[in-house]
């Protein structure tokens, strides 16, 4: 599974959740996790989460993760949402380690009562995709939702530290998936 | 998914990891999570984890969880190990909330450098099983491994509190799995 | 699995067979069976059954069922068509019980030589859908096919009785699926 | 899918439910439905239905069906139990046609309040198996259960007619499965 | 699995790779392999292989194969690409037998250093599709790629012989798939 | 996927086809292909191929391959037999390249009318296994079958060359599987 970091600036508009985005736009073939810092503004017709219909999904600066898995064929939404949860729990854990305490409800993280993150999982017949992103600040987030930003939860963190944290999250996730595969290969079944 | 609590005392000998144990021994039909406090001593021919061949797997008092899922047909070891990881991460989180700090490596929890837990996942063609257990004390654990016990990591916890924690773990796990199913049902796919 | 009854009147135009229709239009999340009385007129571009291309698929008053299942991931057309057959056989059985004798060929029911029903099954990567509907009368049915209506097969049935029958069908179907799940959980496999 | 009829007399002892029985004992390769008339006496260690543990499962003369499917890989217990239900519903229907009225509860048929049939489904990693059998008479059935026999439900039926009915059941089942496969191949998916 | 041969002349424009093309255009229901001789010119919006974006995919005269499988439900891209490889290896083998030596790299065949073939596999939720085609001559092939044609690799072959070869390829492929199914049905699993 | 070569001498007795043999005996975790030169004598109770019941399966010196795949979960016999065919076709191809012409029927290779190879595929719920082996000479092969040996088909080949060929086969197989995975990751699905 490849681990990619993009230059800051790419706007997440919902098109990146589409299958094979990493191959078509980044020439990354196979399972991958990509992270970058950039704004978000999801176009209504790119919505994947039908609970979000009619809502504004936007923020001026976020740390984004896009994951694509090709290992399970055909792709499996159930497995995909389990992986999303594992990702979110890894993030919560690594934030805790650097002193940022968050609460998790499903696939959302909260900080001081404000919503810190957005996330969705989806799939086609052949690949499973996850998007997870956290606000750096609350700038540009919807006015009708209480939001939080990583740099505000913990004022002394700079963008650099968050960028490093992102790499640590990617690496931990990749290792976790690898570790699970290894556990399958040591286990007797009935 | 049913949530069951047994009276203390049942020895975990490895037979409980077998498919349909809950139905055959407890008359619990369908997916379930069962918890209880009791000793552990795994018979060599009940070993599921081939990395443990030749090792003693025992402890005098543990809090045990046995999970069985029938939702995915045919049963899927990959999904099963993802669920095991989610369980372990839930445990780590809930321990943290009551002030017990642990480290996780794969499916193991450590406390002050001592191994606190054991875990395995397995499946048959029709069901997925998980065993997870944590030492209450290090009494009766193998002498050649540094172990830890929940009541020693955090001296002021009594058996009652641990028993309540176990129920909280079961409940949180059940809700997480349910929550994932609900997320599938709101998601557009490609 | 949720059992829903809509007010009479909704026209079945083929859009209701789309995945997540129940969630998007009715806020029903998860597996469900919905029934209602209403007309049918399928738009050509909503056709799912390629054998029906070029045919008129319409009727002035039908009892409709829309089923969606999220339990099997990824969704499985083979399982879905088996469930469709089970539904049709349940309907035939319940009609028989109230004295309406029908013949079944595949997923079609016939009464006195007239086609009483229409049905299709389909799926996306994450859900399985079934539509099944029976004419109440032959009013508004295609002129080039011999059709039948429930109220004509059995003249003394009113709309109320058919509406109650519909609920009985939904309930029996839901129980059958549940019963199958329970049988899996009592069965030894090889 | 092959349709086989055996000479009367083979005792059903539970070994016939094992995967590849038809290949090992009858040299029938691939998916098949086999029927024959013979007694039944299931050995306790051949039990597949854990609800039957400790019960006597026997009868002096039954019409037996053994089905094996290799089409779904890996084998799927959920699909297998759906097929079992379809078989039982086909049997109920064909009995009705020759004037024998039965009631169905799950996979059991009843006649005049007596249990007429036994059935189980199971699988290995590569095949799905179904056993379904109906008593010809109540002779040799367990004394602690009210049972019924086909020849008693409907006195004027001889063994010959039942044997012909069995072939009709096999044929109808085979055609139903084939018909489902054909329906998949005409259906647009999302 | 049906084996179909079309009259020469149909242009392959990429639309034939779509699920259910054989049913919609040829009234062929179920799994099939279709072959015919005709030109190729793939419309950019019909591209399946994202590595081919921006490339011209064309040739004046090719022998085409379109395969569709409905046996694995849900359809499985991994299985589909394994079948594509088996097809290509069968072709290489049969070419060898009539004295045409080729090299294979993945799903491509080369003759005297020129690219002889094009191929792609894809799927929907319910069917698996393969397109494989070989140039008869290099006429009309892209000028920026070194190509080869069957009639040029081996000058003394006429269109008739190639057409017969195509039928042999179809037949061998159909038998191979059937043979694999039979092997499953003789094999003990764990 | 790991590529392993063992010292000559290990007798293939059928136990090596069991799931997790490579992990238990060789400490190789995960998907692997192992090759070695050694005799074969399969114990009757280790038979996987029910067509071989009652036959002697033995040879004094063979080049063996044992493959285990953990990528598809749950394991899939259909996929496994497709991979076996791909392996056999790769072997045939590489033999041809060094001037040894063979014929293939299903999973068997023949040389000058003599059976050169044996092969079987099987699986558990979590892994897929393949055994393929070719006689070096006909020494020790069953007297009631016409057999062939690699060193007799082509007299000027020594054990060293065959050992190198074995590595080439392993490497080609590993690359083919990898190549297929890469093709999935470049393909648009419907």
Per-residue pLDDT tens over the stretch E19-29: 999 999 999 99
Determine the residue of chain C that is closest to D83 in CA distance. C82
**Contact check, Cβ <8 Å, B124/A190:** yes
Instruction: Give yes or no for residue F156 having a pLDDT over 80.
Output: no
Mean pLDDT confidence for F46-72: 94
Cβ atoms D31, D69 nearer than 8 A: yes
Cis peptide upstream of residue B66 (ω within 30 degrees of 0): no
- pLDDT bucket at B45, cuts 50 / 70 / 90: confident
Residue F55: predicted pLDDT:
87
Q: What dihedral angle (degrees, nearest 10) is formed by the CA atoms of D170, D171, D172, D173?
A: 50
CA dist D156 and A151 (Å) reads 86
- Measured in residues, chain A has a length of 190
SS3 F76: coil
CA dist B144 and A24 (Å) reads 53
Chains contacting chain C through 3 or more C-beta pairs under 8 A: A, B, D, E
Give the per-residue SS3 of D21-86.
HHHHHHCCCCCEEEEEEEEEECCHHHCCEHHHCCCCCEEEEEEEEEEEECCCCCCCHHHHHHHHHH
Residue F49 in contact with partner chain D when CB distance is under 8 A: no
Residue F120 in contact with partner chain E when CB distance is under 8 A: yes
From E56's Cα to the closest Cα of chain F, the distance in A is: 17
Residue D171: predicted pLDDT:
98
Instruction: Give yes or no for residue A156 having a pLDDT over 80.
Output: no
Kindly report the average pLDDT of chain E as a whole number.
Answer: 96
Determine the residue of chain C that is closest to A50 in CA distance. C24
CA dist A159 and C93 (Å) reads 67
Determine the residue of chain F that is closest to E102 in CA distance. F93
Nearest-CB residue to C123 (from E20, E24, E125): E125
Q: Which of A152-156, C35-39, C113-117, D147-151 has the lowest mean pLDDT?
A: A152-156
- pLDDT bucket at D157, cuts 50 / 70 / 90: confident
Residue C188: predicted pLDDT:
97
**Both tokens of residue C33?**
């069976």
Angle in degrees, 0-180, between the axes of helices E159-184 and F77-97, rounded to the nearest 10 = 130
B6 DSSP assignment: P
Instruction: Give yes or no for residue F46 having a pLDDT over 90.
Output: no
* DSSP-derived pairing of the beta strands C108-111 and C114-115: antiparallel
- pLDDT bucket at D45, cuts 50 / 70 / 90: confident
Nearest-CB residue to A77 (from C20, C24, C74): C74
**Contact check, Cβ <8 Å, E71/D70:** no
Residue F53: predicted pLDDT:
87
Residue A127: predicted pLDDT:
98
Percent of chain B with pLDDT over 90: 91
Task: List, as ranges, residues 131-170 from C with C-beta within 8 Å of A.
Answer: none
Instruction: Give yes or no for residue A103 having a pLDDT over 90.
Output: yes
CA dist A103 and A125 (Å) reads 33
Cis peptide upstream of residue B123 (ω within 30 degrees of 0): no
**Contact check, Cβ <8 Å, D125/F78:** no
Q: What radius of gyration, in Å, describes the C-alpha atoms of chain F?
A: 16
Kindly report the average pLDDT of chain F as a whole number.
Answer: 96
Mean pLDDT confidence for A79-104: 97
**Both tokens of residue D168?**
């009709």
**Both tokens of residue F28?**
């190789």
Residue E94: predicted pLDDT:
97
Q: Which residues of chain C have pLDDT under 70?
A: none
Percent of chain A with pLDDT over 70: 100
The closest of E131, E128, E92, C74 to F79, measured between CA atoms, is E128
Enclosing H/E stretch for F21: helix F21-26
Please give the ipTM for the structure prediction. Answer: 0.96
CA dist A184 and A178 (Å) reads 10
Q: Burial of D97 by CB count in 10 Å (0-12 exposed, 13-18 middle, 19+ buried)? A: exposed
The closest of A118, A136, A139 to A42, measured between CA atoms, is A118
CA dist E58 and E144 (Å) reads 12
Q: Which of B62-66, B150-154, F105-109 has the lowest mean pLDDT?
A: B150-154
Convert the pLDDT of each residue in B56-96 to its tens digit.
Answer: 899 999 999 999 999 999 999 999 999 999 999 999 999 99
Q: Which of C127-131, D17-21, E41-45 has the lowest mean pLDDT?
A: E41-45
Chain F hits for D20, CB-CB cut-off 8 Å, are 50
Residue B26 in contact with partner chain C when CB distance is under 8 A: no
- pLDDT bucket at F157, cuts 50 / 70 / 90: confident
**Contact check, Cβ <8 Å, F50/D23:** yes
Instruction: Give yes or no for residue A155 having a pLDDT over 80.
Output: no
**Contact check, Cβ <8 Å, F81/E180:** yes
Residue D53: predicted pLDDT:
86
CA dist E166 and E4 (Å) reads 11
Beta bridge partners of residue A121, listed in sequence order:
A130
Enclosing H/E stretch for B94: helix B77-97
The pTM of this model reads 0.97
Residue F181: predicted pLDDT:
98
**Contact check, Cβ <8 Å, B70/C187:** no
Convert the pLDDT of each residue in B89-124 to its tens digit.
Answer: 999 999 999 999 999 999 999 999 999 999 999 999
Residue A33: predicted pLDDT:
98
- pLDDT bucket at D64, cuts 50 / 70 / 90: very high
Cβ atoms F124, F69 nearer than 8 A: no
Residue E134: predicted pLDDT:
98
């Amino acid at each position: 599974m490849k681990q990619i970091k993009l230059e800051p600036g790419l706007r997440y508009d919902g098109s990146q959740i589409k299958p094979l985005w990493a191959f078509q736009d980044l020439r990354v073939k196979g399972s991958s996790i990509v992270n970058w810092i950039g704004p978000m503004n999801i176009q209504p017709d790119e919505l994947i989460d039908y609970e979000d219909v009619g809502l504004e999904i936007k923020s001026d600066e976020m740390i984004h993760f896009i994951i694509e898995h090709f290992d399970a064929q055909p792709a499996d939404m159930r497995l995909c949402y389990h992986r999303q949860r594992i990702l979110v729990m890894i993030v919560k854990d690594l934030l805790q380690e650097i002193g940022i305490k968050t609460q998790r409800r499903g696939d959302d993280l909260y900080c001081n009562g404000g919503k810190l993150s957005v996330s969705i999982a989806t799939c086609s017949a052949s690949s499973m995709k996850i998007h997870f992103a956290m606000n750096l600040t609350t700038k540009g987030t919807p006015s009708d939702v209480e939001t939080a930003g990583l740099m505000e939860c913990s004022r002394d963190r700079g963008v650099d530290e968050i960028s490093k944290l992102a790499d640590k999250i990617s690496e931990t996730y990749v290792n976790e998936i690898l570790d699970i595969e290894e556990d399958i290969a040591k286990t007797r079944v009935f």
